[in-house]
């Protein structure tokens, strides 16, 4: 089996998983947090893996797949917004103290109910958007492209081209790591998180393709991803809280949230300062 065919078969398998997850999400009137998260993850993996597949295709095919990728990106963004509302609900539900004033507690509970409404409406809008995109052929077009194995426009996918893709991702990741270590701003930390996730998905995917022979994704980078994810969730929630009325911004649970946020950012700075993190990132490009 040549490398391109192996990659194509693996992408086809991922697409089938995404389509089943999409169908399940549409059929459930109020899909669970876990179902939303799983669909989001599979959709992002599909985007990373299909980029490997389109490497070396004709300009016309690349243009088609790039257009499909933009549609998948918009779908992933909308799923992410629903997922963010779920995360905010979880974080907000964990704050508050038994001795907080009744008025503060009532305000916090009202905010929680408002977020629940946002999450419910977000699910309804997402299901409608997903249904419309499926009817417009976003998955069918990708499946059709993958099925046309006999096209004369195809060129062999070499291991060198795959290594170039890994090196490109590794180079961008190394640059983002250096920048975040110098100043872990919200934007830089979020960018690093995205690139780490893409690198992990890419290497995990290539590990399933005979002949690809990618490097292993280090466990220390998995832990860094978790820290970055936690910081990102708290970044979003604190930004939301800062837009509330002064009474709520200064409430005990809001101060507790900020303290948790600061502690998570200190942990992130500590992790980014370790030489083992930089070494692990550099090793991906080997």
The DSSP output letter for 266 is: H
Confidence of residue 152 (pLDDT cuts 50, 70, 90): very low
Contact yes or no for 165/198 (Cβ under 8 A): no
Nearest CA among 160, 213, 148 for reference residue 5: 148
pLDDT given for residue 60 in this prediction: 80
Q: Which CATH architecture has domain 1-157?
A: Alpha solenoid (1.40)
pLDDT given for residue 96 in this prediction: 61
Question: pLDDT for 68-83, tens place per residue?
Answer: 999 999 999 999 999 9
Question: Residue ranges per domain, the chain?
Answer: 1-157, 158-286
- d(CA 194, CA 137) in angstroms, rounded, equals 27
CA distance from start to end of the chain: 25
pLDDT given for residue 181 in this prediction: 93
- d(CA 205, CA 209) in angstroms, rounded, equals 7
Q: What are all long-range contacts of 84-89, with beta carbons under 8 Å and residues at least 24 apart?
A: 84/233, 84/236, 85/115, 85/118, 85/119, 85/122, 86/33, 86/36, 86/37, 86/119, 87/233, 87/236, 87/237, 88/115, 88/233, 88/236, 88/237, 88/240, 89/115, 89/116, 89/119
Q: Stretch 270-277: mean pLDDT, rounded?
A: 91
pLDDT given for residue 245 in this prediction: 78
Nearest CA among 14, 7, 61 for reference residue 39: 14
């Amino acid at each position: 089996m040549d490398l391109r065919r192996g990659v194509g078969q693996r992408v086809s398998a991922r697409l089938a998983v995404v389509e089943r997850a999409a169908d399940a999400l549409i059929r459930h009137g109020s899909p669970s947090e876990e179902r939303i998260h799983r669909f989001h993850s599979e959709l992002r993996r599909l985007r990373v893996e299909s980029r490997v597949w389109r490497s070396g295709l004709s300009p016309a095919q690349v243009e088609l797949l790039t257009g499909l990728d933009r549609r998948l990106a918009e779908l992933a963004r909308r799923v992410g917004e629903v997922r963010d509302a779920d995360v905010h609900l979880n974080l907000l539900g964990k704050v508050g103290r038994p001795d907080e004033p009744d008025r503060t507690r009532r305000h916090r509970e009202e905010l929680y109910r408002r977020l629940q409404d946002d999450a419910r409406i977000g699910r309804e809008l997402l299901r409608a958007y997903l249904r419309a995109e499926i009817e417009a052929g976003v998955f069918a077009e990708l499946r059709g492209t993958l099925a046309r194995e006999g096209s004369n426009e195809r060129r062999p996918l070499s291991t060198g081209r795959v290594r170039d893709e890994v090196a490109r991702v590794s180079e961008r990741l190394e640059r983002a790591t250096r920048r975040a270590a110098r100043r872990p701003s919200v934007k830089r930390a979020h960018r690093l998180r995205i690139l780490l996730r893409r690198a992990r998905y890419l290497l995990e995917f290539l590990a399933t393709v005979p002949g690809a022979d990618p490097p292993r994704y280090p466990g220390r980078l998995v832990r860094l991803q978790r820290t970055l994810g936690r910081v990102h969730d708290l970044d979003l929630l604190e930004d939301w809280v800062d837009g509330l009325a002064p009474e709520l911004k200064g409430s005990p649970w809001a101060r507790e949230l900020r303290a948790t946020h600061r502690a998570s950012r200190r942990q992130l700075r500590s992790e980014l300062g370790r030489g083992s993190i930089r070494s692990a990132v550099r090793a991906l490009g080997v």
